[in-house]
Amino acid sequence: MNFAEIERKWQRKWQEDRIFEPEIDKSKRKFFITVPYPYMSGALHIGHGRTFTMGDIIARFKRMQGYNVLFPMAFHVTGTPVLAIADSIANGDEKVIQLYREYVRIYENDEEKVEKIVESFKDPKNIAEYFADKTQQDFKGMGYSIDWRRKFHTAEPIYNKFVEWQFKKLYDLGLIKKGEYPITYSPADGNPVGEDDIEDGDIDKVTIMEFTVIKFEFEDGYLVAATLRPETIFGVTNLWINPDAEYCAVMVNSERWYISKEAAEKLKYQKDNVIVEKCFKGEFFVGKKAKEPATGRTIPILPADFVDPDNATGVVYSVPAHAPYDYQALKDIQNSEEYARKYNLSQEELKSIELIKIIDIEGYNIPAKDICEKMGIVNQKDPKLEEATQIIYKDEFYSGILNNKCGPFAGIKISEIKDEVKRWLINMGRADVFYETSRKAVTRNGHKVIVAVLKDQWFIDYSPKWWKEKGHKLVDQMFFYPTKYKNIMHGIIDWLEKRPCARKRGLGTRFPWNKEWIIESLSDSTIYMAFYTVAHIIREQGIEPEKLTEDFFDLVFLGKGNIQEISEKTGVKEDVLEKMREEFEYWYPNDQRHTSPPHLSNHLAFFIMHHAAIFPEKHWPRAITLNGLMIREGAKISKSKGNAIPLAHVADKYGVDLFRLYCAVNADLESVMDWREKELASLKKRFNLFVSIVEDSLNATEPKTLLPMDRWLLSRFYRLLKESIQDYDSFKIRDAMLNMLFHFVNDIKKYEKRMGSDRRKCVIRKVLEDWLLILSPVMPHICEEYWHRLGHSNYISLQTLPEVKEEYIDDAVEAEMEYVERVIDDIKEIVEIAKIDVKKIYLYTADQWKWDVLRAISDVPPKDAIKEAMKVRKSKETVTLVKQLLKNKIKYIKIDEESVLERDKKYIEKVFNAEVVINSDYDPKNKRKFAIPMKPAIYVE
């Protein structure tokens, strides 16, 4: 059987008959499910496939529950990545070109064509459109039940108008603000730079560090030292400068600052009115004095090689009691006559510098000194100093307390007072803020990356109390699976602050009030589910983007305004507006959004917040479900590792239904899923077994009368079906599939062992439709195929769930089966251990009084069991029996042991190829008395 062909056949038919293009049907409950549109910077791989597949399985299950299901899809292209790729290709970046050739080869096998297509990627729009097109093809090939009429991509003018509308709504609510913001920036390119623009930016992230710079009075200005620990200012003993580096006098807002030349350059991008006056070597400062701002002491300026002029201001203040580097450097120079001589400093004076301890902390006397001694640090070039600094920083921050040298801050923990001290210094005019990158970084074309402060950055301000309250309310009303994410989401909403929402470059929507800015990609994909409800009508009607005004969307999505006026103003016919309004009202809210945890703290949080801000409560989204990521053979899937399997290859390489089954069955939604070829191979066996069982029964006739084993199998089936439907409904899709495909198939094997394959085929025929139905959300193609081969002319994809035939679920019949199996196991064990050549097996069932005892204690807690049992029969034997029953954990169930054994005698005889005698008087080894309920005594000879 050619699975790929079957898969394509049904995909084609589904499309031809437009079965996944739902229309408004007020007689049915609707269900609107979305999965975030994928980002189109390349081809998708199987890791992405997991999330979309699970979304589709849920969509299909909901359809079977009788909902009118809408599952739409679109494509995301906003932002810099696509642009950066286009630029790299245009600039002839071989690495990128090679990568994109690979991507295109997934879909094209003509090398000339590949070249041509990659060539066309110099235009970012072509990248977006090419991959959007191909991804749509991939999704169809995965059997997803998507309504494709509603697709769009985020750089399309009609979508831009929609995003503009969203921003106007936010603006009217006072949530769009403008302000200063530090960003990574390349002065040479005159542009902000993102992760994609920085060399190794994806591997080694560049973050922005906020230094406090403290102004030490020096001659006609200030020597400005940078620190991450402003609270240590009370323990300063001296300043360090690099004698060989260039320093400059810089006018900053009518103050004269002395900082390194590099710092002066950076400062120009962080502050207004920065004028460099003159520059000179650092040795200029050597031996001079400056005044510290906290208590006004005068301290010396000393030279040190370790000071990096290209880090922060190139001026460092020294706190030797608490900073291991400072301690070691000070110790080195105090012991070096050469140092004093070289810089013409007084050895006496150097030696007179004393450590000033300002932090009390348990386990340390003088922290920097203690740790240097403990770690055996020898001099200031010792690499262990870095680790020592980390340890001290952490210990002091969390458990250190400022002592009485620290004025108003004495007695307070560092973690609580750090920002206080900073504010105090800044308010006195003695400190400022300076931003620096977390590491030295250059752009991909080799230009230096610094931190610049943008003056007119646009933000979305998530901090207003009313907004957060609404967000929390929405989350409270929302269903999450896995449920733990609900609390996490509350936490995220509390943590949200301001977020820049526009960038200077990239694809997307222009900022309505300042066209130089482009709305950034996470901010333009928050409420777009609403757009799905009308996108196909906009397209059908050929409504031009300029007609999609604020009034237009206000009417369609919020029901505001006068329809006649808006029709006149926009030129969109009234009935069309009416229809759109109706579509939105019918489909909204978004009943379920399915995605993966990396979206929690960004996309999903904005999705929630923007809905809370813009839409009335009845249109707030209802549920979020998430599935863990997919890894492959234990390793993260990534392009750079080269271990990504394109989604486009799934059909031919593995088979779509098998892939979908793997997604459903190999991990539950909560867990990370490991894609292993070996696991897949064993799953395939199971899949093939399923196929052959179904094939066997296609032409079989159902049995006319049911034997006990038939009833057992039917009981198992409907019991498992019942559980599975519940599991499905609570998103335990794995458990549902385990039941229907593993446990049930195992039961079929057990059945066949006793009843043979001919009868199996007939009995399975009895449940075949129901079985295919429950499996069809996961394996839609193969189930569709068999459904039709069974003579149905409608689509299984559009059927409702099978009915659970409760009348077949029979506890007793299952217990009897288990009972016989257990007896057989016991006999086997005896035979094996005693190494007996079996000729005759004697079975003795328990006496009635033993059953009476079991029944009496069945609902009694173990510790009262004996007491209870004695009421039935007062004897020593009773005590022994109760102990045995408890030890063997025998549960009471009503069955007639003797007649069951009698009935299955032939089967037991067949298993052991020996004669079986039940409750005979012959009992040479006196075994009969050992019988307990559900565990007959056995004698073998």
Partner RNA sequence: GCGGGGGUUGCCGAGCCAGGUCAAAGGCGGGAGACUCAAGAUCUCCUCCCGUAGGGGUUCGAGGGUUCGAAUCCCUCCCCCCGCACCA
Binding to RNA, residues 867-906 (CB under 7 A): 887-889, 891
Q: Which stretch binds RNA (CB under 7 A): 55-63, 337-345, 360-368, 682-690?
A: 682-690
Residue 228 makes contact with RNA by CB under 7 A: no
Place of tokens 């999505």: 557
Contacts (CB under 7 A) with RNA, residues 719-748: 742
861, 894, 913, 921: which one contacts RNA (CB under 7 A)? 861
Measured from the CB of residue 577, what is the shortest distance to RNA in angstroms? 32
Task: Fill in the per-residue mask, 354 to 393: x = in contact with RNA (CB under 7 A), - = not in contact.
Answer: ----------------------------------------
Neighbours of 383 (CB within 10 A): 7
Task: Fill in the per-residue mask, 154 to 193: x = in contact with RNA (CB under 7 A), - = not in contact.
Answer: -----------------------------xx-------x-
Q: What is the number of residues in the chain?
A: 941
- Closest CB to RNA among residues 238, 596: 596
Residue 635 makes contact with RNA by CB under 7 A: no
Residue 324 makes contact with RNA by CB under 7 A: no
Contacts (CB under 7 A) with RNA, residues 77-96: 78-81
Measured from the CB of residue 564, what is the shortest distance to RNA in angstroms? 40
Contacts (CB under 7 A) with RNA, residues 396-455: 398
Measured from the CB of residue 861, what is the shortest distance to RNA in angstroms? 6
Task: Fill in the per-residue mask, 457 to 476: x = in contact with RNA (CB under 7 A), - = not in contact.
Answer: -----x--------------
Measured from the CB of residue 229, what is the shortest distance to RNA in angstroms? 15
Measured from the CB of residue 680, what is the shortest distance to RNA in angstroms? 9
Residue 595 makes contact with RNA by CB under 7 A: no
Distance of CA 509 to the CA centre of its chain: 27
Query: For residue 860, which phi and psi values (nearest 5 degrees)?
Result: -105, 140
Q: How many residues bind RNA (CB under 7 A)?
A: 77
Measured from the CB of residue 153, what is the shortest distance to RNA in angstroms? 12
Task: Fill in the per-residue mask, 491 to 510: x = in contact with RNA (CB under 7 A), - = not in contact.
Answer: x---xxxxxx--x--x----
Query: For residue 490, which phi and psi values (nearest 5 degrees)?
Result: -60, -45
Measured from the CB of residue 42, what is the shortest distance to RNA in angstroms? 10
668, 810, 816, 897: which one contacts RNA (CB under 7 A)? 668
Strand partners, 843: 918, 938
Q: Which stretch binds RNA (CB under 7 A): 228-236, 243-251, 297-305, 666-674?
A: 666-674
Q: In terms of C-beta density within 10 A (0-12 exposed, 13-18 middle, 19 or more buried), how is residue 251 classed?
A: middle
Measured from the CB of residue 548, what is the shortest distance to RNA in angstroms? 23
Give the type of residue at 288.
K
CB 106 within 8 A of CB 43: yes
Strand partners, 239: 301, 317
CB 211 within 8 A of CB 434: yes
- Closest CB to RNA among residues 539, 676: 676
What SS3 class is residue 376? coil
Residues 6+ apart with CB under 8 A from 333: 302, 304, 339, 340, 350
Strand residue runs (E) in 234-286 = 238-241, 246-252, 255-260, 274-281
Residue 933 makes contact with RNA by CB under 7 A: no
Measured from the CB of residue 137, what is the shortest distance to RNA in angstroms? 20
Q: In terms of C-beta density within 10 A (0-12 exposed, 13-18 middle, 19 or more buried), how is residue 779 classed?
A: buried
- Closest CB to RNA among residues 35, 496: 496
CB 128 within 8 A of CB 85: no
2, 542, 681, 837: which one contacts RNA (CB under 7 A)? 681
Contacts (CB under 7 A) with RNA, residues 523-582: none
Edge-to-edge strands of the sheet including 635-636?
635-636, 630-632, 673-675
Residue 678 makes contact with RNA by CB under 7 A: yes
Measured from the CB of residue 559, what is the shortest distance to RNA in angstroms? 32
Neighbours of 63 (CB within 10 A): 25
- Closest CB to RNA among residues 2, 834: 834
Query: For residue 252, which phi and psi values (nearest 5 degrees)?
Result: -125, 110
- Closest CB to RNA among residues 496, 763: 496
Select from 773, 784, 797, 778 the least CA-distant residue to 659: 778
Query: For residue 631, which phi and psi values (nearest 5 degrees)?
Result: -115, 170
Q: Which two tokens stand for residue 456?
A: 């007119």
- Closest CB to RNA among residues 14, 39: 39
- Closest CB to RNA among residues 571, 862: 862
CA 152, CA 324: separation in Å to the nearest integer?
A: 58
116, 749, 789, 839: which one contacts RNA (CB under 7 A)? 749
Strand partners, 281: 246
Dihedral angle at the C-alpha atoms of 817, 823, 829, 832, nearest 10 degrees?
-100
Residue 48 makes contact with RNA by CB under 7 A: no
863, 874, 876, 894: which one contacts RNA (CB under 7 A)? 863
- Closest CB to RNA among residues 186, 242: 186
246, 370, 585, 679: which one contacts RNA (CB under 7 A)? 679
Residue 212 makes contact with RNA by CB under 7 A: no
Measured from the CB of residue 525, what is the shortest distance to RNA in angstroms? 8
Measured from the CB of residue 416, what is the shortest distance to RNA in angstroms? 12
CA 923, CA 373: separation in Å to the nearest integer?
A: 85
Helix, strand, coil percentages for the chain (3-state, nearest 5): 50, 15, 30
Q: Which stretch binds RNA (CB under 7 A): 357-365, 473-481, 490-498, 867-875?
A: 490-498
Q: In terms of C-beta density within 10 A (0-12 exposed, 13-18 middle, 19 or more buried), how is residue 53 classed?
A: buried
CB 536 within 8 A of CB 576: no
First CA to last CA distance, the chain: 51
Measured from the CB of residue 339, what is the shortest distance to RNA in angstroms? 38
Measured from the CB of residue 618, what is the shortest distance to RNA in angstroms? 28
Strand partners, 360: 401
Task: Fill in the per-residue mask, 814 to 853: x = in contact with RNA (CB under 7 A), - = not in contact.
Answer: ---------x--x--xx--xxxx-----------------
Measured from the CB of residue 14, what is the shortest distance to RNA in angstroms? 30
Q: What angle do CA 523, 527, 532 make, to 5 degrees?
A: 125
CB 145 within 8 A of CB 60: yes
Measured from the CB of residue 724, what is the shortest distance to RNA in angstroms? 15
Q: Which stretch binds RNA (CB under 7 A): 118-126, 318-326, 362-370, 672-680?
A: 672-680
Give the type of residue at 520.
E
124, 143, 194, 324: which one contacts RNA (CB under 7 A)? 194
What SS3 class is residue 106? helix
Select from 939, 941, 938 the least CA-distant residue to 823: 938
Measured from the CB of residue 17, what is the shortest distance to RNA in angstroms? 34
Give the type of residue at 760.
R
- Closest CB to RNA among residues 355, 609: 609
